[in-house]
Amino acid sequence: MKLTMDLAKKIVKNTMDVLGKNINIMDYNGIIIASGNQERINMYHKGAAEVVKTGKMVIIKDKDIAGFKGVKPGINLPIRFNEQIIGVVGITGDANEVAGYGEIVKNMVELILQQEFLRREIEAENKACENFFQQLLSNSIKSKELLVDRAKLFDLTLDLVRVVIVIEIHPIDNKLLTEQIRILDTFLRLNKKEDIIFSRGDNLILVKSFSKDNNIENYYEYTKKITNKILDRFNEIFDSVIIGVGQRVSELEKLYISYQGAKHALKVGKKVYNNHENNIFFLDHLGYDYFLPYIDKEEGLYFLHHLLGNNIIEVFENVDLGELIEALVENDLNISKAADSIYIHRNTLIYKLNKINEITGLNPRSAKDLFTLLIAYHLYLYLYQ
């Protein structure tokens, strides 16, 4: 492990906070790379060079300074990692006073190095695992044998039920997002072995695993719970948060299908339902809206402008037709309940419905015509919002 300047600064800060004495860290060449005394950084320390050469502690007293270049009174000890000297730690002060701290500081520094090494190992493994999932989402691993080998390397279960959750956040703040990823890992109580959360482009991706014995109700209940937690937390931090949930897949190699489904749900939900309070959209709950992205744009525009009349776009843009249609659908064509749901009088609703019939030629109180209007309204939202 290399003793870098950044790591040396971290060690100096941590040890000085505990010890209250000035600490110097020298590299293998005897150059001071971190110190509580900033003026000494990049200076050559002859005492440290002697420690590296002999592997032994060097004590420097006031009377010894003349014989050592760039030094002050104190003690200097070798820093070992994996039984090799990689640098030197020095404690400035009267040799008799600081000598008792020598082994304590040395052990503290070496412990910090061990922790840093472990952290980097974990980060490297996590990054490699993340890269594997990035490839799975791209469906870029064409060899089943390679996929199986990589899964074994990361100790992943091949046939677990998994779902991909895509979280779109605005504005993007990469530093803040990285911090939130670390927090969410604990906050959501994810399965450390099988679940993973990472950024992909401008989105945050959560791959959530489920045991095979989880029934469909448990799956939806848990997924709704976890996405609500994310939404509640992120709504306090970011201006806009929209979540798409893909379909369940039971094979690791098909994870890209759930990813595409989550993006599909997010795209439709953002355009058609983005005015609703709860911006969480399940692919499995889109119903007929699932097909909106598959409708050719020219065909969709023709449907809106010609089959429903040339003024239909103007109607959608200037009157509350959409709200009335949604209210009727959600209340199963019950006029009174629909009126109550949008806080208008029943007679007012009837008047408005008659106006819609007059403008479009379609009767909203007819199930067939209402469904046509509903499809047209959602198509309008998808194409124009």
Q: How do residues 7-46 score in pLDDT, each as one tens digit?
A: 888 888 888 887 788 889 999 899 999 998 888 889 898 8
- In angstroms, rounded to a whole number, what is the distance separating the alpha carbons of residues 157 and 266? 28
**Contact assessment for residue 380 and residue 316, using Cβ atoms and an 8 Å cutoff:** yes
Looking at the structure, tell me whether residues 276 and 323 fall in a common domain. Answer: no
Q: Which of 250, 271, 289 is the last residue of a domain?
A: 289
| pLDDT number for residue 296 | 92
- Residue predicted with more confidence, 158 or 69: 158
Q: Tens of pLDDT along 223-268?
A: 999 999 999 888 888 888 999 999 999 899 999 999 999 999 999 9
201, 275: one domain: yes
Q: DSSP of 1-51, one letter per residue?
A: ----HHHHHHHHHHHHHHH-S-EEEE-TTSBEEEESSGGGTT-B-HHHHHH
In the predicted model, is pLDDT for residue 276 greater than 60? no
Same domain membership, residue 214 and residue 188: yes
pLDDT tens across 107-159, in order?
888 888 888 888 888 888 889 999 999 999 999 998 989 999 999 988 998 88
Residue type, 111: L
CATH number reported for the structural domain that contains residue 94 in this entry: 3.30.450.40
Total of domains in the chain: 3
The mean of the pLDDT values for the chain is 86
Whether the CB-CB separation of 142 and 234 falls below 8 Å is answered with no
- Domain extent at residue 339: 295-384
Is 125 part of a structural domain of the chain?
Answer: no
- Higher pLDDT, residue 94 or 147: 147
Question: Which phi and psi angles does 258 have, rounded to 5°?
Answer: -65, -35
Measured at the alpha carbon of residue 141, what is the angle toward residues 136 and 144, in degrees to the nearest 5?
Answer: 105
The number of angstroms, rounded, from the C-alpha of 327 to the middle of its chain's C-alpha atoms is 36
CA proximity to 101, closest of 21, 26, 24? 21
> Cα–Cα distance between 75 and 72 in angstroms, integer?
9
Residue 146 lies in a domain: no
**Smallest Cα–Cα separation from 283: which of 257, 304, 306?**
257
In the chain, % of residues over pLDDT 90? 25
Task: Give yes or no: residues 71 and 186 share one domain.
Answer: no
Task: Check whether residue 203 and residue 284 sit in a common domain.
Answer: yes
Does pLDDT of 163 surpass 90? yes
- pLDDT, residue 262, reads 96
Cα separation of 57 and 54, whole Å? Answer: 8
In this predicted structure, what is the pLDDT of residue 208?
92
CATH code where residue 349 lies? 1.10.10.2840
Distance from C-alpha of 133 to C-alpha of 245, rounded to nearest angstrom: 17
Provide, rounded to the nearest whole percent, the portion of the chain with pLDDT above 70. Answer: 94
Question: What pLDDT digit, counting tens, does each position of 183-230 carry?
Answer: 887 788 888 888 899 988 888 999 999 876 666 667 888 899 999 999
Tell me, yes or no, whether 127 lies in a domain. Answer: no
pLDDT at 310 over 70: no
Does residue 136 sit within a domain? no
Q: Give me the mean pLDDT over the 97-104 stretch.
A: 81
Chain-centre distance for alpha carbon 320: 38
H helix or E strand, kind and range, residue 85: strand 84-92
Backbone torsions φ then ψ of 27, nearest 5 degrees: -85, -175
Q: 62 and 167 in one domain?
A: no
- The verdict on 27 and 104 lying in the same domain is yes
333 and 277 in one domain? no
pLDDT value, residue 277? 61
161 phi and psi angles, rounded to 5 deg: -75, 130
* Domain end call among 85, 115, 145: 115
Q: Is the pLDDT of residue 385 over 80?
A: no
Banded model confidence at residue 292, pLDDT cuts 50, 70, 90:
very high
Structure tokens that stand for 155 in this block = 């100790």
- Given 255, 289, 323, which residue is the final one in a domain? 289
Answer whether residue 261 is part of any domain.
Answer: yes
Do 307 and 270 belong together in one domain?
no
Say whether both 180 and 248 belong to one domain.
Answer: yes
Residues 27 and 67 in one domain: yes
In a shared domain, residues 84 and 187: no
Residue 22 to residues 12, 27, 69, 100, Cα–Cα distance (Å): 8, 17, 18, 15
Average pLDDT over residues 336-356: 86
Residue 308 has pLDDT above 80, yes or no: no
- What distances in angstroms separate CA 100 from CA 45, 96, 97, 106, one per listed residue? 22, 8, 7, 11
Report the 10 Å Cβ neighbour count for 33: 20
